Structures are given as structure tokens and as C-alpha cells.
Structure 1
């Protein structure tokens, strides 16, 4: 049996048992030589540096220290970084690719719960749950139940127009999840052409047209200098009365001051799982406006979902050690257009 490559964990140590529950950890240790009690949060720490000297595989996750030249110099045998989370932008550097180190990410696995959250939001806002489900409603004229046979006008998901901004991993998973529902879905993405949109089964529109013609606009674009405040005052003003903005991507895609101005008029609604800054300051109007619903960046993998990230890494480690290509390799050139 070939010798297992040396591996080190680099992530927030309290997350390790969640990402790698016992059965997954056993699978991982079957293909790499790993000490689960050694978790790196500082590559300069003496015990970590000693381990890095013989490390071939780095198992990373949320809280991984930055892989700069000094860290990589301490790991001269390193040949692969397997990331048990989404984006690798926060800790990788160009030096990683310059040295020919393979990088893999569980971003595809993390995309599923975000897409599921977004689907749920789209369907629930179609029933105007933000208004009808708000528990602090105390007006005597506010309905506690709709009498049988009554029809509530202006709500529902039949033929509702959903505009997806960004054919990212999450955007593409969302398109799949939306397909069985009786919705009219469109896509805006400058990197997608008509042929690819046809393969995705969705009409491709310019962003301005998508905004003007959607009852729900859901954002799935990466944060780059070009996408900062992608949705600003002009874009928000073009959205139809009563429409909903959903953001599960990055807070900086939306000009929050402009959004607050629109929300204060009561014309639009917003569901925000990400904000700028994050978290919002205690006095932010977004936390008090009745037509804004803010969740604390929970759309991504949480609870039992994080084991899916660990399983992705274990499967990548098994491929690596058996000489097969990685399934979820990260291309440096694609990083600029990804989350």
C-alpha cells in the first residue's frame, strides 16, 4: 500500500468536528496522514512550522491563515490545497499558483444551501410573508386568518417574474431549483452568451431590462471593483412597484443608502442575507424597516450542511491520492469572476 501523504488542517479548530464528523474524518485519515489535534491558525507557530516542513496536502476551511510566500516557504513539499468551504480568495495569494500548487474548493457544495434559501425566499415573498407573517402586527383590522373562499389580491407565484443576476455556481443551482415551479425566469450576466443561456434554459436579458421586468431580482454576482454598487439608485428606481430585491451574494453589490431611500417610500421590499458592512451597525434603518428582512449571513452551509463540505474535500483527497484529477479545481484566471 503506498505511503499516505502528510496533511495538516488549517481552519477554525472548533469547526473541525462539524466539517469532518467521525466517519468522514476516518475516510480522510485513510488516504492522508493527518493529526486531527493539530489545527493551524498561525503558520508561524513552531509546532505548525515543524509539521508544514513535511506537509504535502493542506486541508483548509474558514479561518485559514493567509498562504503568502513565507507560509509556502515553510511548506516546500506542499502540492495541494483542499478547501472545505467556498471562496479561496480570502487566504490564497498569486504565489500559490506560481508554485504550481493545486487548489480545490467545496464552493459547489456550498452553493446548494444558498440556492435553497433563495428559492424559499422567492416563494415566500410571493405570498407576501414579510407582511402577513410579521408577529408584531397588532392592528385590529389586520387579518388573523383569511376566511375560506376569500381571495387575497396581488400575491401568488403563478407566472411570477424572477430575474437572476449572475450565472455563478449559486445562480446556476438556483436556475435548476426554479425550473419545476410555474415562474417566468430570466438571467443577466455579461459573461454568458445566448447559446449558453439556451443551455441553461433561460432567456438572457441586459441588466436594465431584467430590473424593469422582474417581480423578484435575486443577486448572485461576485464582488469585484466592477460590481460594487451594481444595484444603485438608478437601478432600484427602475424596479417595478412592489418588487423584491434578494441578496445572498455580497453586501457591496447594493448601494445601501439608495436601498434605504427606496424602502422608506414603501415601494420596494428587500431580503438581505449579506450586508455592507457586515454585521450592520445597531442603528441601521435596515433592521427596523417593515419591508426589509435581514438574516445574519446564514444562507450558506450551516449546521448539518457543513458536513457536505467535508465530504467534498474527502472525495477530492481520495482522487488526489489515487492519481485522479481533482473534480473541483480552482482556476486562477476564473477567480476574478467568482465569489
Structure 2
């Protein structure tokens, strides 16, 4: 598969996975490998389908975009595309931005449940006791019989509920942008949060970051949470007001388990690192062994649709 033949009439696709490692890629395209390195694999102006490198940071991911004058598709490998949306105004007219909705459902939902159980049962405390060679039996809350509120009931939120099912929760409440009925029950609109939050023992955030959800979990939201409740964030850090959360953690009233933070990466010395009652993981909801096979399957499908001029999946925006 050639990286760049200027005489070719075939559209060029840049992929962050080596093309020879993806079985059954559709014909009719040229493929080039670029995973964020300093050198491009050819002329960016020839790229028609750009799959953004995964977890390389906005500066790297968006660097070739101004040079891609022939671009028709930007394919993210993340469920959230908040870092790419501002670039749309600089893309060629008609270029479409596609998210990776569904790609990270299993892995992120798995981490959400891991963080929930670890925080409730104080697994970090037991690990610290083990490091000190101390036997410290304590009574901790179980997930069983708890009420759980999932804020952002899309595909990841639904996957979280699937994994909660065996844990004998007393109630699972669902919130999304608008009301609807899902397979497991009613989904409430965001406007219902003030009534739902006080009933939740665990609040799990899986919402995308938008203008509407930025700072959604503010001081008022946190104040409505019941004493001893747990906030789990596997969405985006900026959904939560960090200063307001720190106040609740330092008072000991709430617990938190955060895979994402604001700021991110969390700087050394930031108060969140040492706040009581918090677990911090470094945005690892997606990167697991589940990522690569699902990323390859997504690319096979999207590229086949692109070649056949069929509707693409997960189109978030189009350049004007």
C-alpha cells in the first residue's frame, strides 16, 4: 500500500494503525500510516479520509488539518470530539467529523464499575494497608441496595447499566439531553436532575462535553447530593466544577472517583491528588485491550462506507 503516489486517482486515507495490520480494508483507496510523528507520510493536501491519532493530544491531532485541502472525512477514535469541533470552521466545505461512538462502551463502562466498587469498598485504603503490612478490617458500603444515577445515558451510559444489572442495585435512574424510553426503562431529561440527584447514592457521569454540560456538576448539583454519596466521572473533567468538588471532598461529605479531571493532565501538587475520599485515574477509560479490535472494526466499516459513498456512522458535524 503506497504512502503517496501523486499520480494516483485513488483517494488517500491516513490511518494511525498500520494498514497491513487491519484485515479486509476496502479497495479503491490508498492507505498511509501516520500516528502523530514529526514527519507526514506524504502531502496532507491529498488526504481525503483522516483518522485522528489516538491519545496524542490536541496539538498533534489537529496539526495536519490546515494542510488538508482535499479532506472529506475526519474520523476520531474517541467518543467525545470536543477538541476537534473548533477545527470545523477551517476544514473544506462538506468535510464531515465522525465520532467513535460505541468503540469505548465496554472498556469505559468496565472502568466506571471498577471505580464505583473500589471507592465504595475503599480498595485504595486496603492497598495502603497492605503496603504498610497492616491488617485493617473495616465495614464499608456495598453497591447492593444502592440507588445509582447515570448522567449522560447514551451508548456508554447504557453499557454501564448493563454491568450494574447483577449487583442488586435498588434503583437505576437515567438522564439524557431529552426524555425517552430506553430498553431498561425511562430516561429523564436534564431538567429533572434537581429532583433525582438527592435520591442517588452513586452518580456516574458519562455525558459528552458540550456547552450545555460544561460545569453541569457545579456547587448546586453537589450540594443536592446526599451525605456520603459517590461521584464517578468517566466523561470529561470540565463537566465538574473542580473547586466546588474539592470543597465537598475536603469537608468529608462526598466521595469521588475520577478518570478525568479539570485541568487534565492533573498537575503535580494539585489539591485533588491528596483530597480525602477521592480516587484519580489518568483518563484510562478507553485504552485497554478492548480498544484495538474495536478500532479496526470501526475503520473497516467507515472506510467501506466512504468508498461506496454510503452514509457514514456517527457524523457529529459538517464543515460549511
TM bin, normalised by shorter chain, reads 0.7 to 0.9
TM-score (norm 1): 0.75
Query: Are the counterparts in 1 of residues 257 and 280 from structure 2 also a CA contact under 8 Å?
Result: yes
CA shift for structure 1 position 245: 0.6
- Confirm whether residue 6 of structure 1 aligns to residue 50 of structure 2: no
* 1:186 to 2:177 alignment: no
TM-score, normalised by the number of residues in structure 2: 0.79
Identify the match of residue 319 of structure 1 among 301, 305, 312.
Answer: 305
> Which of 95, 118, 127 is 1:124 aligned to?
118
Find the aligned partners of 1:257 and 1:72 in 2 and give their Cα distance. Answer: 40
Distance, in Å, in 1 between the alignment partners of 2:303 and 2:146 is 43
Kindly state the Cα deviation for residue 295 of structure 1 after the two structures are TM-superposed.
0.6
Give the whole-Å Cα distance in 2 for the aligned partners of 1:266 and 1:226: 29
Aligned residue in 1 for 2:84: 91
Compare 227-236 and 276-285 and name the one that shifted more.
227-236
Match of 1:71 among 59, 67, 70: 67
> What CA deviation, in whole Å up to 9, does each residue of 1:68-102 have, x standing for no partner?
6x5343x2xx4333333333442353347872234
1:27 aligns with 2:24: yes
Contact 1:86–1:107 at 8 Å: present in 2 too?
Answer: yes
Q: Which has the higher helix share?
A: 1
Q: For the structure 1 residues 289 and 224, does the alpha-carbon distance in structure 2 shift closer, same or farther, using more than 3 Å as the test?
A: same
Equivalent residue of 1:282, what SS?
coil
1:112 and 1:244 map into 2 onto residues whose CA distance is 22
1:165-244 to 2 correspondence within 5 Å? 165-183=151-169, 184-189=171-176, 191-193=177-179, 196-202=180-186, 204=188, 206-244=192-230
What pairs with 1:154-165 in structure 2 (closer than 5 Å)?
Answer: 155-165=141-151
Q: Does the 8 Å CA contact 1:84/1:313 hold for their aligned counterparts?
A: no
- 1:243-262 aligned at under 5 Å gives the runs 243-262=229-248
Q: Which has the larger radius of gyration?
A: 1
Q: In 2, distance between residues paired with 1:71 and 1:112?
A: 35
Contact 1:187/1:210 (CA < 8 Å) preserved in 2? no
Deviations 1:197-256 (A, max 9, x none): 354424637212222111111112222333332222222222112211111111112122
Alignment check: 8 A CA contact 2:26 2:304 kept: no
Aligned residues, how many? Answer: 303
CA offsets 1:106-139 (integer angstroms, 9 cap, x no match): 2320233111111222233343434444446859
Structure 2 equivalent of residue 13 of structure 1: none
Which residue of 50, 53, 58 maps to 2:50? 58
The 3-state SS of whatever aligns with 1:186 is strand
How far does residue 174 in structure 1 lie from its aligned partner after superposition? 1.7
Structure 1 unpaired stretches of 5+: 11-15, 147-151
Provide the rounded CA distance (Å) in 2 between the counterparts of 1:46 and 1:122: 42
Paired with 2:217 and 2:121, the residues of 1 have a C-alpha distance of 25
Cα distance change of structure 1 residues 98 and 180 upon mapping to structure 2, 3 Å threshold:
farther
- CA 1:214–1:306: 2 relative to 1, 3 Å: same
